[in-house]
Amino acid sequence: MKAIIGLGNPEEKYRYTRHNTGFLMMDEILKAHSVTLNDKFNSFFGKKGDVLYLLPKTYMNLSGNAVLELMNFYKLKNTDILVIYDDATIEFGTFRLKKNGSFGGHNGIKSIINRLGTDKFDRLKVGVGPVPERIPIDSYVLGNFTNEELLDISKMAIKSVEVIDFWINKGIEATQNRFNGKVI
C-alpha cells in the first residue's frame, strides 16, 4: 500500500491560502482517481485499490498525529508515504521531490517528523515563493493566492496527478529525475 498525504488547514477561510497548497493539489488528485472521502484518522480519508489518501483535519501544526494514526492502522513503512505541501523557499511553479530531510521551517513537516521519530519519508514540495521582503513568512503563507496564481495552481495540480501516479509505480528516485524543477 501507498499513502498520499496533502497538508493544509481544514477551515474554509484557509482554502486558497499558500499554506493550503497540499490540499489544493489533493483536490485534483482525488478527482482524477475518483476517490470519495470520509472521516477517519481525524482526517478526510479515502482509499482506492492499494492507495490511501489523507488530508489531516488536525491543522498544520498537528499533522503528524493523523499521519501516525494512518500508518499504525495500515502498518505502513515510512517509504510507503508521500507528503505534499507548500514551500515558500522554492520558486512559485516549481516541484521539488525529496526522499528525506529536515523540516525546513515547515510546521506540518516538523509535526510528522516528531510523531514518526524520523525524517525519512518522501515529499513533494510545491514552490509558493519567494516571500516578498518585509512580509513575515507566516503572513505570506497564510495569505490568499492572487487570481492569476490560482490559475497556475490549477495547472500545477493537474501536473501533480502525473507526479503521484509516477511515484506510485516507479518510486522516489525515478520521480525526482523526471519531475524536479519548474512545472509552469
Residues tagged active-site? 19
Residues with Cβ within 8 Å of 37's Cβ and at least 6 positions away in sequence, in order, are 30, 44, 45, 46, 53, 55
Secondary structure of residue 106 in the 3-state scheme: coil
Q: Tell me the β-bridge partners of 86.
A: 126
Angle of helix 21-32 relative to helix 147-170, nearest 10 degrees, comes to 60
Amino acid at 24: L
Among 93, 85, 89, 94, which Cα is nearest to 130's?
89
| Residue corresponding to grid cell 516507479 | 170
Contact indicator for 4, 84 with CB cutoff of 8 Å: yes
Pairing of strands 43-48, 94-98: unpaired
What is the number of other CB atoms lying within 10 angstroms of the CB of residue 69?
Answer: 19
